[in-house]
Amino acid sequence: MLKSRRILLVIGGGIAAYKSLGLIRRLRECGAHVRCILTAAAQHFVTPLAAGALCGERAFTDLFDAKSEFDVGHVRLARDPDLVVVAPATADLIARMAGGHADDLAAAALLATDKPILIAPAMNPQMWAAKATQRNLAQLKADGVHVVGPNAGEMAERGEAGIGRMAEPLEIVAAVEALLGRAGPLSGKRVLVTSGPTCEPIDAVRYIANRSSGKQGHAIAAAAAAAGADVVLVSGPVSLPDPPAVSVVRVETAREMLAAVEKALPVDVAVFAAAVADWRPERQSAGKIKKRQHGQPPTLALVENPDILSTIAHRKSGRPRLVIGFAAETDHVLANAKAKLAAKSCDWILANDVSPGTGIMGGDTNTITLVTTAGIEPWPPQSKENVARTVVERIAAAMADTNS
Ligand X SMILES: Cc1cc2nc3c(=O)[nH]c(=O)nc-3n(C[C@H](O)[C@H](O)[C@H](O)COP(=O)(O)O)c2cc1C
Of 210, 305, 352, 366, which one is the catalytic site residue? 210
Question: Is 122 among the residues that bind ligand X (CB under 6 A)?
Answer: yes
Instruction: CB nearer to ligand X: give 161 or 302.
Output: 161
- Least Cα distance to 9 among 156, 175, 139 occurs for 175
Residue 385, C-beta contacts closer than 8 angstroms, at least 6 positions apart: 219, 222, 223
Q: Which of 21, 27, 42, 392 binds ligand X (CB under 6 A)?
A: 42
Does residue 111 interact with ligand X by CB under 6 A?
Answer: no
| Binding of residue 41 to ligand X (CB under 6 A) | yes
136 lines the binding site for ligand X (CB under 6 A): no
Q: Does 90 bind ligand X (CB under 6 A)?
A: yes
Q: Contact between 260 and ligand X (CB under 6 A)?
A: no
Residue selected from 21, 24, 86, 91 as contacting ligand X according to rule CB under 6 A: 91
Contact between 39 and ligand X per CB under 6 A: yes
Nearer Cβ to ligand X (123/180): 123
- Whose Cβ is closer to ligand X: residue 68's or residue 198's? 68
Q: Which of 5, 6, 7, 13 binds ligand X (CB under 6 A)?
A: 13
Cβ nearer to ligand X, comparing 14 with 244: 14
How far is it, in rounded angstroms, from Cα 243 to Cα 84?
A: 17
d(CA 229, CA 349): 21
Closest distance to ligand X from the beta carbon of 179 (Å): 22
Told to check if 123 binds ligand X by CB under 6 A, we report yes
Say if residues 168 and 120 touch (Cβ distance below 8 Å): no
Site residue total, ligand X (CB under 6 A): 15
Residues 273 and 271: their CA atoms lie apart, in Å, by: 6
CB of 65 to ligand X, least distance (A): 17
Minimal distance, residue 102 CB to ligand X, in Å: 12
Assess 85 for contact with ligand X (CB under 6 A). Answer: no
What's the closest the beta carbon of residue 117 comes to ligand X, in angstroms?
A: 15
The distance of closest approach from Cβ of residue 167 to ligand X in the complex, given in angstroms and rounded to an integer, is 13
- Candidates 63, 72, 111, 127: give the one binding ligand X (CB under 6 A): 127
3-state SS record for the chain: CCCCCEEEEEECCCCCHHHHHHHHHHHHHCCCEEEEEECCCHHHCCCHHHHHHHHCCCCECCCCCHHHHHHCHHHHHHHCCCEEEEEEECHHHHHHHHHCCCCCHHHHHHHHCCCCEEEEECCCHHHHHCHHHHHHHHHHHHCCCEECCCEEEECCCCCCEEEEECCCHHHHHHHHHHHHHHCCCCCCCEEEEEECECCEECCCCCEECCCCCCHHHHHHHHHHHHCCCEEEEEECCCCCCCCCCCEEEECCCHHHHHHHHHHHCCCCEEEECCECCCEEECCCCCCCCCCCCCCCCCCCCEEECCCHHHHHHCCCCCCCCEEEEEEEECCCHHHHHHHHHHHHCCCEEEEEECCCCCCCCCCCEECEEEEECCEEEECCCEEHHHHHHHHHHHHHHHHHHHHC
350 touches ligand X by CB under 6 A: no
Candidate list 34, 46, 93, 147; residue touching ligand X; CB under 6 A: 93
Name which of 39 and 195 has its Cβ closer to ligand X.
39
Beta carbon of residue 35, minimum distance to ligand X (angstroms, whole number) = 17
Catalytic residue list contains 136: no
12 makes contact with ligand X (CB under 6 A): yes
Binding mask 203-232 for ligand X (x = CB under 6 A): ------------------------------
What's the half-sphere exposure (Cβ side, CA atoms, 13 Å) at 137? 19
Q: Confirm or reject binding of residue 150 to ligand X (CB under 6 A).
A: no
**14 is a contact residue toward ligand X (CB under 6 A):** yes
The span of 37-45, 257-265, 278-286, 358-366 binding ligand X (CB under 6 A) equals: 37-45
- Choose between 113 and 198: whose C-beta lies nearer to ligand X: 113
Instruction: Report the interface residues with ligand X, using CB under 6 A.
Output: 12-16, 39, 41-42, 90-93, 122-123, 127
Active-site annotation, residues? 210
